[in-house]
Amino acid sequence: MKVLKNDMVLVISGNYKGKKGKVLKVFPKQNRVIVEGVNFIKKHTRPTQNNPQGGIVEKEASINMSNVLVICPKCNTPSRIGRKALEDGKRVRICKNCEEMLVVSS
C-alpha cells in the first residue's frame, strides 16, 4: 500500500482539490482513505445515552486513494511513492522526486 495512516496528503481531484490533510484511516480492500478536513457529510444520529439530544453530525467520509498524493516530508512536495528493497531484505517506501526513504510515523 502506498498511502498509510498519519501520512500528509494533497487531494488532487474532486471538490476538495488542493486541500492538504492527514490520513486518519485507510481501507485497503475498498481502496479508500479518510483525510482530516476533507469530504464532510451530514449524518443524522438517533438519541442515545451518550448523546441524549441526537441531531445532525458533520464528519469526514472516505475518498478514493487515487485522488490523493503523499507529501514527502524531506522535499515537501506531493509525489508518487515507490518501493525499494534494502540489503537486509526489507522493503521501504521512497519518494519518486528526491529518492528519500519515507518513515512510518505513529
Domains, in order of start, for the chain: 8-102 (2.30.30.30)
pLDDT digits (tens, 9 = 90+) for 28-78: 999 999 999 999 999 999 999 988 999 999 999 999 999 999 999 898 999
Rounded to an integer, what distance in angstroms lies between the CA atom of residue 106 and that of residue 57?
28
Q: How confident is residue 10, by pLDDT bands cut at 50, 70 and 90?
A: very high
Residue 70 sits at φ, ψ, to 5 deg, of -75, 135
pLDDT band at 105 (very low <50, low <70, confident <90, very high): low
User: How confident is the model over 70-94, as pLDDT tens digits?
Assistant: 999 898 999 999 998 989 988 899 9
For residue 8, what pLDDT band results from cuts at 50, 70 and 90? very high
Secondary structure (DSSP) of the chain: ----TT-EEEE-SSTTTT-EEEEEEEETTTTEEEETTSSEEEEEE---SS-SS-EEEEEE--EEGGGEEEEPTTT-SEE-EEEEE-TTS-EEEEETTT-PEEPPP-
Whole-prediction pTM: 0.83
